[in-house]
Structure 1
Amino acid sequence: MRTLGLIGGMSAESTALYYSHLNRLARERLGGLHSARLAMISIDFAPLAEMQARGEWDEAGQMMAAEARRLEAAGAEAILICANTMHIVAEAVEAAVEVPVLHICDATAAALRAAGSRRPLLLATRFTMEKDFYRDRLAQAGIEAVVPGADDRAALHAIIYDELCQGVISPASKAVVLDMIARAEGVDGVIFGCTEIGLLISPDDLALPVVDTTLAHAQAGMAFALG
């Protein structure tokens, strides 16, 4: 089994899901007492969140690249950035290491195609919904991601940073997000495009096909590890 390197802590809540998913997938594939071979760096999210808010993406990319190099030196044979938003700087991370960086958009696109969704609603941070990096990468795979309106984007961003990233799960916020989805027109699926969204709502809450990016990314990682 190959060793996966995880850059986590963005947030700690969703990084715990990565760890759980990867170990469960290893056990399901190999049986018995098998678990995933992982090297993890869990960063302090607060300074990075401040960089995000100030638009200091080059500085954030340098920081993430340094962490990737540390993981490579520790024996990681592929890198997973355990956050959708921080794939804004995926190219900087890729340039810093010799091992592959398994991109969350590629895993998401493959899962969407398998689910038969070509025009999904993208639920994510404001950065992921409004910047081009995510939707453009999906478009290269034939996926036209739709984002909520401006007010809904602001509300969802606040739910993610003020609640989910801090371990707060609110029934009222769940109702807000489910209402966003119900009002979306012309979509044929839903992307949980922030790694914390699955803490708030479940695919079982929806009639549409759902891709939880945290799970899809972990599945792609385990496929590499066992490939």
Structure 2
Amino acid sequence: MKTIGLVGGMSWESSAVYYRLLNEGVEERLGGLTSAKSVLASVDFAEVTALQQAERWDEVAEILAEAGRGVERAGADFLLLCTTAFHRVADQVEAAIDIPLVHLADVVAEASTEQRLDTVGLIGTSFAMSRTFFTDRIASHGLKVVLPEERHFETLNRIIYSELVHGKVVDDSRREVVQIVEELWDAGAGGVILGCTELELLVRQADVEIPVLGCTTLHVQAALDLALAD
């Protein structure tokens, strides 16, 4: 089994889900007492978020690159950034390490293609939706990406930053997000990408009829495929 490298803390709630799903996945695939071989570096979410808001991306890149180098030195065979928004600096992180980086946008795009989708909706933080670093990478796989109306951006941000990153799962917020997902379906999306790792704490496939593509779940599955490959 290869060792999975993780850069997390963005937020720690989603990183905990990554860790749990990786170990549940290994147990399901191999059975017995098997657990995932992994190395985690966790950064300060407040620090990198403040730098993000100030557009100080070189400093964000260096923090995450140093975390990635530490994970590599600790024996990781490949690296996952346990975040969507901070994939904004994924290329810089990848250039700073000598192990492969499993890019989240590539993973969700490949999963969309496997489900024979040609148009996907994306919900996430206002940053991830208003910038093109993530949607362009998905579109490079031949997919069309549909975004919510801009009036929904603040609603999603509030739910993510005021509730989900603190582990609060609120039924009223679930109903709000489900309504946004249904609007994306009406706009032509064949599936919806939960483009913020914390959103999987709130919305599940049972909540909507449209196919749901959860970033955390798909990232974990891709990591397990690599870790357990012959």
Which band: TM-score by shorter chain? over 0.9
Using the TM superposition, give the Cα deviation of residue 56 of structure 1 relative to its aligned residue in structure 2, in angstroms.
Answer: 1.5
Q: 1:113 matched to which residue of 2?
A: 113
- Runs of 5+ in structure 2 lacking a partner? none
Contact residue 39 and residue 74 of structure 1 kept, 8 A: yes
Give me the whole-angstrom Cα distance separating, in 2, the residues matched to 1:55 and 1:127. 11
Counterpart of 2:188?
186
Aligned to 1:66: 66
Whether 2:45 is the aligned partner of 1:32: answer no
Q: Which residue of 2 is the match for residue 195 of structure 1?
A: 197
- Cα distance in 2 between the residues matched to 1:186 and 1:222: 32
- TM-score scaled by length of structure 2: 0.96
| Rounded Cα–Cα distance in structure 2 between residues aligned with 1:123 and 1:94 | 25
1:57-206 map, 5 Å: 57-184=57-184, 185-206=187-208
Q: Structure 2: which amino acid aligns with 1:222? A: L
How many pairs were matched up?
A: 227
CA-CA distance at 1:126 after TM superposition: 1.2
TM-score computed with the length of structure 1 as normaliser: 0.97
Gaps of 5+ in 1: none
> How far 1:106 sits from its partner (Å)?
1.1
| Counterparts of 1:5 and 1:182, CA distance in 2 | 35
Alpha carbons 1:117, 1:209 under 8 Å: kept: no
> Shift of residue 116 of structure 1?
2.2
**Aligned residues: CA RMSD:** 1.0
Counterpart-to-counterpart distance in 1, 2:140 and 2:92: 20
After the TM superposition, which of the residue ranges 115-124 and 92-101 deviates more from structure 2? Answer: 115-124
For the residue of structure 2 that corresponds to 1:145, the secondary structure is strand
Tell me by how many angstroms 1:105 deviates.
0.8
Percent of aligned pairs with the same amino acid:
40
Helix, strand or coil at the partner of 1:187: coil
SS of equivalent to 2:40: strand
